[in-house]
Chain A
């Protein structure tokens, strides 16, 4: 059964460093998303991406964040200069069309020291 995959499963970085979180969505899906879950809190929407551009973004998704689909399979989230409060589980999701079921990956746990 096709699934969304994410790498790495756990990333530890120093404050101020850049990180890139990688996702491989399901191959025939056209819509891609990032969510995050700070420990003990709810899952929050960050950004949606379609046709090589951002469809919608939340207030959390400020200038430190960017997304890219560098090739036909990967979807990345870059945090330019990490802060302590960026420590969270980051989930990638994909869907066939807008409004359809979103399939979530297993997440990348980001720890900023």
Chain B
């Protein structure tokens, strides 16, 4: 069975500082991995995805994530936080053999001025 663990339900960083949101996954088959962002009162927007190509994946809004098989991790980073990055971020995994996406519990990112 697949699962995702996101460390930290809330993360606060200062504007301009590095953003690091942690995600570890469990999967019995090579996974597809995703990061989604949810702004208040909006749906889920795909930030980036890993589908077994390059291990460093670049997404929208300056975010990137690195797939590390040895650590079963897929942490999300952004070099310099912006106030508009304040949102909830979900790490997710899927088995490409079926359709469902398994989500983590989410991490709410707060940006301090």
Whether the pair B104, A42 counts as a contact (CB closer than 8 A) is yes
Q: How would you classify the secondary structure of chain A's contact residues: helix, strand, loop or mixed?
A: strand
A68 within 8 A of B: no
B43 within 8 A of A: yes
B11 within 8 A of A: no
B101 within 8 A of A: yes
Looking at the assembled complex, report how far the CB atom of A10 sits from the nearest CB atom of chain B, in whole angstroms.
10
Question: How big is chain A's contact interface, by range?
Answer: 20 to 34
Most buried by B among A41, A43, A56, A93: A43
Whether the pair A31, B49 counts as a contact (CB closer than 8 A) is no
Closest to B92 in A: A43
Whether the pair A104, B44 counts as a contact (CB closer than 8 A) is yes
Closest to A103 in B: B46
> Among A11-19, A72-80, A94-102, which stretch is in contact with chain B?
A94-102
Q: Which residues of A contact B7 (CB under 8 A)?
A: none
Known: A43-B92, A45-B100. 6 other contacts (CB 8 A): A42-B90, A45-B101, A50-B99, A91-B44, A101-B49, A102-B101
B residues apposed to A, CB below 8 Å? 32, 36, 41-46, 49, 90, 92, 94, 96-106
